[in-house]
Amino acid sequence: MKLITEGAEIYYESIGNGPLLLLIHGAMEDAGFYSSAAEILSGKYTALSYDRRCNSRSSGNRKVDMTVAQQARDASSIINKMGFDKAIIIGRSGGAIIGLELAATRPELIDFLIVHEAPVIELLPEPKAQRWRRFVDEIYTKSQREGWQAAQKEFMSSLINVPDKPYPPHLNERLSDNVAFFFEQEFKAFYEYQPNIGSIKKPQCKNGNCHWKG
């Protein structure tokens, strides 16, 4: 199924009934990464996963750089267009960063937020943050000079506990364009992101209902 928001068709999968559970995938992935989890959780929730703008089965302008703000607006549009006032949100990696942005800008849409492995370099102490800034610059420069394949090889070698089991063929086919888009248009935006901690930490209450002011 697809919905249209800000000039893009966003592909989504929804299963179950109950409160909305929005699953936001990370870089180089798509909704398929949450299929098994969504099925397990569908007994208690409306579990919805989607292909982020310009990834897999969703459209968008692949020639412009991704912005975290745009990704957060897409997520908020999905919540509203599905007919829900708010959602429980699970975001992993880049999806976790989108969850943080949503918490800072549209807190009224969040019932509960689970942030998993958000690569937020700017929250690290120095000099650790500087070391990772250099790493990001090196990977991005490699992608521009040598192509995304070279950047992916070096990037993946820096990760730990990466599953070595191959993806199913149909999933591999969908993800191939996502990898190129990540290194060319998403990489720096995700790794340069700095969450507005002040907004996220300050709940505003009215008539017994609390939310975070963006």
**What local confidence, expressed as pLDDT, does residue 210 receive?**
55
**Runs of H (alpha helix) within 106-204:** 128-146, 148-157, 169-181, 187-191, 197-201
* Class of 2-212 in CATH: alpha beta
CB 80 within 8 A of CB 103: no
125-182 residue pLDDT tens: 999 999 999 999 999 999 999 999 999 999 998 887 776 677 778 788 889 889 999 9
Query: Which helix (H) or strand (E) segment is 17 a member of?
Result: none
Q: Identify each DSSP E strand in 60-121 by its residue range.
A: 87-92, 110-116
SS3 assignment, position 91? strand
Q: How far apart are CA 23 and CA 48, in angstroms?
A: 6
**Where in the chain are the domains?**
2-212
**Segments of the chain scoring below 70 in pLDDT:** 163-164, 203-214
In the structure encoding, which two tokens stand for residue 175, read together?
């993800």
**What local confidence, expressed as pLDDT, does residue 214 receive?**
44
Q: What is the pTM of this model?
A: 0.92
Task: Residue 179: name the closest of 62, 10, 8 by CA.
Answer: 62
**What local confidence, expressed as pLDDT, does residue 208 receive?**
44
